[in-house]
Amino acid sequence: MSKQKRPTIRGEQAIAYYRVSSAGQVNTDFDPEGISLPAQRVACNERARELGVVLVDEYLDPGKSGKTIDQRPAFQEMIARIKADRNIKHVFVYALSRFARNRYDDAIMMMTLERLGVQLHSATERNLDASPAGQAMHGMIAVFNEYQVRVSGEDIKYKMGQKAMKGGTLGVAPLGYLNVREQFEGREVRTVIVDPDRGPLITLTFELYATGKYNFHTLREAVTAAGLRTKPTKRWSARPISVHKIGDLLKDRYYLGLVSYEGEEYQGRHEPLVSQDLFDQVQRVLFAERQAGARQRVHNHYLKGLVWCDRCQRRLIITPGKSKTGVTYFYYICRGRQDRSCDLPYLPVADVEDAIERHYVNVRLSEDFRAEVQSRLDEALSSTTDSTRRLHAQYQRQLKELNKREDDLLDLVGDPDWPKDKLTAKMRAVREERARIETRLGEQDLPLNEGYEVLTTVLRLLEDPQALYRRSGLRARKVLNKAVFTRLYLDQVPAGATVTTEDLNEPFATAVTAHRAWSLGEAVDDVLAERATRVAPARESGASLSGDAASLGFTTTASLSTVLEDECSSKAVMVELRGFEPLTLTLPV
């Protein structure tokens, strides 16, 4: 005997599931659930009464996407409830699109409900029963729902791309801007304006970080003290910006006046908050911090990012350790220890600090060297100043001639033999020539003066850098380290932690390398002088000298000249390939 479908199902328990796709559909009416959720509830309750079942509970996903079921917590709770409570025999939804809009999710969940003996009912699609025709209709609607999601997604994607190409802002404007609605030619237009309260503070954030004196934590403290807060929302009040947000903000090209979509950038219609030069400077500071490895962690130290392992050429990181008595100590360890590729021992932070301080004696410039270089610089400046003075006088003469020519042209104004447009062109040419000469006059001293000041400052800083370093505070030490060195490589020797190799920054690299070559030249000159004294009697007797003296090529003049030329290495010692060993058959030159 075949089973007949009953028009109603009496006395069985059911639950309902409601969902809206976006948060914008909630809190849009006097009812906090908006309009859509109560409407779904009414329809499901009416359908349940028609079938004679009792709705014992309901599950709501307000503002959840219908594309997949993975991100719908209430839906997952409902399935868990069905598996645990076998009295639930029915699930009601407003429409299949509220249940699943992906045919694969729909098929999987329908199989799950079928195994559990639970039937799905749609309040608006009443022909979806357990018959073959009803199941076929169910499958077609599931396919159509997925198609609708995909078509809508492509449509939205195209429209967003068109909006970005026209300079429009996609979504909520970043911190420092406000989404507003304005009237344009009789219609309402959504646009973006600068937030009068937060916009100037965003610019200040970029300016402060561009100085290189702040990390993310200290920058956050500074801008928070200046009044920067997040925009309040319905859920959260205004709060200080997070450290993570600081990093994202400093890399956001939206503040340059650009909008991005699908990997392409377009000129935005919004007002930029930072200039290209300021943004580029911030990126250089960010890149320098990443290259140095100075990551924002809890354990900060002024040497982080500067010290590296001499054994495997990897960065040293700081780590805490506890003694048996519970006292916490900090150490620098090589990153290679983490993968067991390096055996550099733990270096106590205090030992590393002492090693850096001791190493500063190696970049000290002797008094004689500084005096001679300063003399050369003064001589070069004086010589160039004479030339500059003559050029300056020539420019002044040209300006005087231009002034006289302009006066002559002014006298011709009103003369009928001279057309007005011709006089105007000549006057314009005279003024443009005067502007060019005044520009040259103002710039002629800049390159030499700046170079002179830089080298003079280097000589002054390296007069006794160790003493300067010892009396500096932690912040000043960090600045001095970054100015002089790129990296310092350390190793553990019997005497303790020590700096074995250095990478110097310019212009310190040129000055220090030249000084070392000059010192070597001084030593060689002393050796040659001593040898000349010994061989003087042989020379008087007519004996020939060996070729050793000719092979030693460093002199004071040659080595000093390197400080004014950019041909020095910060590491290489300027000696021949064979070093100081005598010539052999294998090294004839």
Residue 470: closest CA among 354, 348, 332, 349: 354
Name which residue leads in pLDDT, 575 or 81: 81
**Separation between Cα atoms, residue 352 and residue 489, nearest integer Å:** 11
**Separation between Cα atoms, residue 79 and residue 88, nearest integer Å:** 11
**pLDDT surpassing 60 at residue 346:** yes
Confidence at residue 394, expressed as pLDDT on a 0 to 100 scale:
72
Instruction: Show the tokens assigned to 109.
Output: 């969940």
- Helices 132-165 and 103-115 cross at an angle (nearest 10°) of 150
- Helices 103-115 and 73-84 cross at an angle (nearest 10°) of 20
- Helices 420-443 and 367-411 cross at an angle (nearest 10°) of 170
**Separation between Cα atoms, residue 576 and residue 574, nearest integer Å:** 7
**Separation between Cα atoms, residue 337 and residue 344, nearest integer Å:** 7
Residue 5 φ/ψ region, left for φ over 0, alpha for ψ in the -120 to 50 degree band, beta for the rest: beta
**Separation between Cα atoms, residue 15 and residue 341, nearest integer Å:** 60
| Same domain? 449 vs 372 | yes
| Same domain? 239 vs 154 | no
Dihedral, 435, 440, 441, 445 alpha carbons, nearest 10: 160
Q: What is the CATH number of the domain that holds 239?
A: 3.90.1750.20
| Same domain? 74 vs 207 | no
Name which residue leads in pLDDT, 434 or 515: 515
Number of other residues whose CB lies within 10 A of the CB of residue 298: 7
**pLDDT surpassing 70 at residue 209:** yes
Question: Is there a contact between 206 and 247 (Cβ–Cβ < 8 Å)?
Answer: no
Question: Is there a contact between 175 and 230 (Cβ–Cβ < 8 Å)?
Answer: yes
| Same domain? 74 vs 113 | yes
Residue 503 lies in a domain: no
Question: Is there a contact between 138 and 99 (Cβ–Cβ < 8 Å)?
Answer: no
Q: Is the dihedral of CA 385, 387, 393, 398 positive or negative?
A: negative
**Separation between Cα atoms, residue 438 and residue 399, nearest integer Å:** 8
10 Å CB burial of residue 427 (0-12, 13-18, 19+) is: middle
Confidence at residue 96, expressed as pLDDT on a 0 to 100 scale:
81
Q: How many domains does the chain have?
A: 3
| Same domain? 23 vs 150 | yes
Average pLDDT, the chain: 77
DSSP state of 71: T
pLDDT tens sequence across 458-501: 899 999 999 999 998 888 899 999 999 999 999 999 989 999 99
Pairing of strands 496-504, 485-493: antiparallel
| Same domain? 31 vs 125 | yes
Confidence at residue 383, expressed as pLDDT on a 0 to 100 scale:
65
Provide the CB-side half-sphere exposure for 126 (13 A, CA): 10
CA-based angle 477:483:485, to the nearest 5? 90
**Separation between Cα atoms, residue 240 and residue 251, nearest integer Å:** 19
| Same domain? 141 vs 264 | no
Amino acid residing at 581: E
| Same domain? 106 vs 182 | no
| Same domain? 194 vs 157 | no
In what helix (H) or strand (E) does residue 407 lie, and over which residues does it extend? helix 367-411
Residue 585 lies in a domain: no
**Separation between Cα atoms, residue 146 and residue 496, nearest integer Å:** 69
| Same domain? 196 vs 83 | no
**Separation between Cα atoms, residue 480 and residue 491, nearest integer Å:** 22
**Separation between Cα atoms, residue 335 and residue 289, nearest integer Å:** 18
The pTM score is 0.39
Residue 250: closest CA among 212, 300, 196, 291: 212
Strand partners, 179: 192
Indicate the SS3 state at residue 192: strand
pLDDT tens sequence across 437-460: 777 666 555 445 667 788 888 899
Please give the average per-residue pLDDT across 546-574, as a whole number.
40
Q: What is the CATH number of the domain that holds 46?
A: 3.40.50.1390
Assign 376 a pLDDT band (cuts: 50, 70, 90). confident
Provide the CB-side half-sphere exposure for 22 (13 A, CA): 3
| Same domain? 217 vs 287 | yes
Q: Which domain holds residue 104?
A: 13-161
Instruction: Show the tokens assigned to 485.
Output: 């060195």
Confidence at residue 26, expressed as pLDDT on a 0 to 100 scale:
45
Question: Is there a contact between 279 and 256 (Cβ–Cβ < 8 Å)?
Answer: yes
